[in-house]
């Protein structure tokens, strides 16, 4: 798909963007959540319809708070999204509420908990909630191929005990396998505020939950926005390290089945994005980036004729093997380049993953990042492949689509001119 011009993209985001925002704090029959949950939802809603920011049409955005967010109302709202959207639409769903799972028994599974959830028995729970199957079917009915579902749900604590003594206690939170199921389908992104083993925090004195505060900041204009639009992967790239830096025990997750880094909102009402920084940080690194790649065949051609010129045309200082000093052992030159560079790019391909030198370089870069408690390794996918787990847990910049190359280069250059994010705050 060709990159859209700013004008076309702007019109598309304004005219065919739909949203559902849900916040439930005061449950009728189970333990409630902090009032911050309601402020989170209200602030997201107001930002989406603000013409100076996201610019969604007010008639296309529905807000359900507390008593409005019944099981019936939620299902009707999802059905309304399916009716009003089409394949070219953007659909944005934000949910801040209880989510839970029954681990065993006849009603085992995952559930979203509306305000009228009844947990006096497992049977009533299943009847008054939205099961994982129901929610998955509701999402599949939405034809939009740019669909984002954001969960800011706590994964710890309880919701109260069932009166039915034979009932299984419901475990608060939704497992990551649930998000994997929801993402299935073209153009689906699931973004959750934390891992299933973590809590989603509200810092003392804060007006919003930690995750939603950074989500709001990103949508207000803090995120990089090529072409005057905020794209989903750029939004996650912005907020994930921000959340973890403020609270190292919380790690937002993203699950996606997408073919492009699609727009989810306008940047500052469609204004031109703030120009990208043109200079590197004033630090001690000799190079902005070292490129780790397999110096043969297609990888060599792409790196030296496409990637390297693009980086250097932006004024970046690049360390690469073709410039290593003669007469020095290759391993020593690799180590020096990694240590002297702010970041290391790992160019992933099937051939690279089979290369022992490539494995050495990315392991060395990751180890150095661990020693310094900084994220200094950026994996780039040049061709479809499955890297080892240590790389998959990092954000992978997909460069397999030539039509997205310029946009992704802007994102990459922007990151290379930032100080590496800290792992521990």
Length of the chain measured in residues: 425
Percentage, residues of the chain above pLDDT 70: 83
Residue 22's pLDDT is: 98
Is residue 240 within 8 A of residue 421, CB to CB? The reply is: no
Which of 54-68, 142-156, 168-182 shows the lowest per-residue confidence on average (mean pLDDT)? 168-182
Among 110-119, 183-192, 267-276, the least confident range: 267-276
Q: How confident is the model at residue 240 (pLDDT cuts 50, 70, 90)?
A: confident
| 200 touches 194 (CB < 8 A) | yes
Give yes or no for a contact between 408 and 224, defined as CB atoms under 8 angstroms apart.
no
Mean pLDDT within 324-345 = 90
Q: Quick one: CA dihedral 256, 262, 267, 269, positive or negative?
A: negative
Q: What is the reported pLDDT for 394?
A: 64
Residue with tokens 């069932």: 162
Least confident range from 37-51, 88-102, 225-239: namely 225-239
Neighbours of 121 (CB within 10 A): 16
Query: Could you name the CATH architecture of 287-416?
Result: 3-Layer(aba) Sandwich (3.40)
CA–CA dist 77, 83 (Å, integer):
10
The domain limits of the chain are: 6-270, 287-416
The mean pLDDT of 315-324, rounded to a whole number, is: 94
Between these two residues, 425 and 56, which has the higher pLDDT value?
56
pLDDT at position 307 is 95
| pLDDT confidence of residue 176 | 78
Examine the pLDDT at 424 and tell me if it is beyond 50: no
When pLDDT is cut at 50, 70 and 90, the band that residue 224 belongs to is: confident
* First vs last C-alpha separation in the chain: 38
Tokens describing residue 213: 């505060």
What's the chain's Rg over C-alpha atoms?
23
Residue 167's pLDDT is 47
Q: How far apart are CA 249 and CA 161, in angstroms?
A: 27
Structure confidence by residue, pLDDT tens digits, 30-81: 888 999 999 999 999 999 999 999 999 999 999 999 999 999 999 999 999 9
Q: What is the pLDDT averaged over residues 88-107?
A: 90
37 vs 22: CA distance, rounded Å = 9
The answer to whether 343 and 374 are in contact (CB under 8 A) is no
Of 151-165, 182-196, 292-306, 410-424, highest mean pLDDT:
292-306
108-125 average pLDDT score? 91
In this prediction, residue 390 carries a pLDDT of: 67
Query: pLDDT (tens digit, 9 = 90+) per residue, 340-399?
Result: 999 999 899 998 888 776 666 667 666 666 666 667 888 888 988 887 766 666 667 888
pTM: 0.71
Domains 6-270 and 287-416 share a fold: yes
Tell me which residue has tokens 């708070």: 65
**Averaged over 239-261, what is the pLDDT?**
85
Whether the CB-CB separation of 147 and 94 falls below 8 Å is answered with no
Nearest to 351 by CA among 310, 293, 276, 292: 293
pLDDT on residue 11: 44
Which residues contact residue 393 at a Cβ distance below 8 angstroms, ignoring those fewer than 6 apart? Answer: none
Class of domain 6-270: alpha beta
SS3 letters across the chain: CCCCCHHHHHHHHHHCEEEEEEECCCCCCCCCCCCHHHHHHHHHHHHHHCCCCCCCCHHHEEEEEHHHCCHHHHHHHHHHHHHHCCCCCEEEEEEECCEEEECCCCCCEEEECCCCCCCCCHHHHHHHCEEHHHHHHHHHCCCCCEEEEEECCCCCCCCCCCCCCCCCCCEECCCHHHHHHHCCCCCEEEEECCCCCCCCCCCCCCCCCHHHHHHHHHHHHHCCCHHHEEEHHHHHHHHHHHHHHHCCCCCCEEEEECCCCCEEEECHHHCCCCCCCCCCCCCCCCEEEEEECCCCHHHHHHHHHHHHHHHHHCCCCEECHHHCCCCCCHHHHHHHHHHCEEEEEEEECHHHHCCHHHHHHHHHHHHHHHHHCECCEEEEECCCCCCCHHHHCCCCEECCCHHHHHHHHHHHHHHHCCCCCECCC
Q: Is the pLDDT of residue 1 over 50?
A: no
pLDDT at residue 8 above 50?
Answer: no
Given a cut of 50, whether residue 164 has pLDDT beyond it is no
CB-count burial class (<10 Å; 0-12, 13-18, 19+) for 32: middle
Does position 337 have pLDDT exceeding 70, yes or no?
A: yes
The CA–CA distances, whole Å, from 77 to 50, 142, 144, 148, 169 equal: 21, 11, 15, 15, 29
The pairing of strands 99-102 and 171-172 is antiparallel
Amino acid 13: pLDDT: 53
Mean pLDDT within 92-107: 90
The predicted pLDDT at position 127 comes to 95
């Amino acid at each position: 798909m060709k990159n859209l011009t700013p004008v076309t993209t702007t019109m598309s985001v304004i005219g065919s963007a739909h949203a559902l925002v849900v916040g439930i704090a005061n449950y009728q029959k189970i333990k409630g959540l902090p009032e911050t949950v309601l402020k989170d939802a209200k602030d997201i809603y107001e930002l989406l319809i603000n013409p100076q920011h996201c610019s969604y049409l007010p008639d296309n955005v529905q807000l359900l708070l507390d008593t409005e967010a019944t099981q019936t109302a939620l299902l009707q709202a999802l059905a309304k999204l399916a009716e009003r959207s089409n394949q070219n639409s953007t659909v944005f769903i934000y949910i801040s509420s209880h989510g839970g799972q029954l681990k065993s028994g006849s009603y085992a599974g995952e559930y979203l908990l509306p305000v009228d959830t009844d947990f006096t028995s497992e049977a009533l729970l299943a009847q008054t909630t939205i099961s994982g199957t129901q929610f998955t079917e509701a999402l599949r009915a939405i034809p939009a191929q740019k669909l984002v579902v954001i969960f800011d749900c706590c994964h710890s604590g309880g919701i109260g005990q069932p009166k039915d003594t034979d009932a299984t206690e419901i475990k608060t939170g939704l497992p990551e396998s649930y998000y994997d199921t929801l993402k299935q389908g073209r153009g689906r992104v699931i973004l959750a505020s934390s891992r299933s083993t973590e809590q989603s925090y509200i810092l003392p004195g804060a007006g919003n939950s930690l995750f939603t505060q950074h989500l709001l900041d990103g949508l207000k204009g803090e995120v990089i926005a090529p072409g005057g639009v905020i794209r989903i992967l750029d939004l996650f790239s912005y907020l994930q390290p921000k959340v973890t830096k403020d609270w190292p025990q919380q790690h937002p997750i993203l699950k996606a089945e997408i073919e492009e880094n699609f727009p989810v909102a306008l940047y500052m009402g469609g204004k031109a994005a703030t120009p990208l920084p043109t200079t590197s940080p004033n630090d001690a690194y000799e190079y902005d980036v070292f490129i780790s790649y397999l110096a043969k065949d297609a990888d060599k051609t792409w790196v030296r004729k496409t990637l390297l010129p693009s980086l250097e045309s932006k004024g970046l200082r690049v360390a690469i093997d073709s410039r290593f000093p003669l007469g020095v052992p290759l391993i020593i030159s690799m180590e020096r380049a990694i240590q002297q560079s702010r970041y290391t790019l790992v160019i992933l391909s099937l051939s690279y993953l089979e290369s022992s030198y490539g494995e050495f370089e990315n392991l060395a870069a990751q180890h150095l990042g661990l020693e310094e408690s900084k994220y200094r390794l950026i994996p780039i996918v040049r061709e479809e492949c499955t890297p080892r787990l240590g790389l998959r847990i990092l954000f992978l910049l997909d460069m397999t689509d030539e039509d997205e190359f310029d946009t992704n280069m802007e994102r990459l250059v922007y990151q290379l001119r930032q100080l590496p994010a800290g792992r521990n705050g």
